[in-house]
Amino acid sequence: MILSELQAEIGRLLNDPFNDKWSPAVLLSRINKAQTEIQGYTNAVKTQESLTPVAGQSFLTINANAMNVVRASKTLWDGSVRPFNGITREELDFRYPDWQQWQSGEPLFWWFDSTTQTINFAPIPDATNAITNGITLWESRKPADLVNPTDIPFDSNTSMIPYHMSIVHWVVSYCWMDDGTPEALAKSKFHRSGNMLRPGEYENQLGRIMAEFDNEEIIPEQILWQAEGGRTGSWGFPSKSNPLPW
């Protein structure tokens, strides 16, 4: 849906097709708030950013619109690209209490500080690891606000087209809340309950996004299993009947 179609659908569900009660400006403001909330909850659309570490500097400032860092990779001095493990500051302190005394070298962990809008490294990169565009981040960013009638939500991301109705249900719910009558509040709860255990139409859309994004349906899954029991096992491998493998 483009912006004008979103506003028209919202008007129909509100029994306000000509936007007499809820003006296009009010709907536009709420549409932009809705798409930001949906992206913040689901991290569905990911934007790639490449950064260059600075020798002796423990952090890098990332894009101002980044709400979260979903994953990262790093390029080493020999050109190889490897996953870059994220961690919380609290877990880093718990697992490695002396991490702030680590010598500079190859960064092993990163954490995102949303207050300063920075990605932080442990240990601090040295000159060998200060590689141009050596850090690649996949970020969940605030979508660009819709302005023109032909603008498409979620930065025109094609994969999000089936979920544009999530915006509609969010906005309709908040508009019904304006009335404050028991009947209007019941209608509001139908569109957005605020409870994933008793979902409204909005939460149903969120559930589909979170269930389907990043899950490749065409790739068959394999279940890994190992037989257990008194008669399983062989020399060199422990079993219930033979716990010592030698």
Peptide bond into 123 cis (omega under 30): yes
What's the token pair of residue 45? 């659309």
List all residues 6 or more positions away from 81 whose beta carbon is below 8 Å from its beta carbon. 73, 74, 75, 136
**Residue 230 in this model has a pLDDT that exceeds 70:** no
158 within 8 A of 100, measured Cβ to Cβ:
no
25 within 8 A of 183, measured Cβ to Cβ:
no
**Roughly how many angstroms between the first and final C-alpha of the chain, as a whole number?**
66
- What is the per-residue pLDDT across 44-53, written as a single tens digit (0 to 9) for each? 999 999 999 9
| pLDDT, position 213 | 82
Q: Would you place residue 3 in the very low, low, confident or very high pLDDT band (cuts 50, 70, 90)?
A: very high
CB neighbour burial string for 169-198, b if at least 16 within 10 angstroms, e if fewer: bbbbbbbbeeeeeeeeeebbbebbbeeeee
| pLDDT, position 241 | 56
What's the token pair of residue 79? 């050109």
What's the token pair of residue 27? 């709907």
pTM, rounded to two decimals: 0.82
Residue where the block lists tokens 């008007």? 11
**Residue 81 in this model has a pLDDT that exceeds 90:** yes
What is the rounded average pLDDT for all residues in the chain?
90
Residue where the block lists tokens 């004008």? 4
68 within 8 A of 43, measured Cβ to Cβ:
yes
- What is the per-residue pLDDT across 162-216, written as a single tens digit (0 to 9) for each? 999 999 999 999 999 998 899 999 999 999 999 989 999 999 999 999 988 875 4
Residue 179: its H or E element: helix 165-179
In the chain, the amino acid numbered 222 is Q
- 36 CB-contact burial (10 Å; exposed 0-12 / middle 13-18 / buried 19+): middle
CB atoms within 10 A of CB 61: 11
- CA–CA gap between residue 4 and residue 74 (Å, rounded): 42
- CA–CA gap between residue 206 and residue 162 (Å, rounded): 12
**Residue 246 in this model has a pLDDT that exceeds 70:** no
Q: Would you place residue 11 in the very low, low, confident or very high pLDDT band (cuts 50, 70, 90)?
A: very high
Give SS3 for 106. Answer: coil
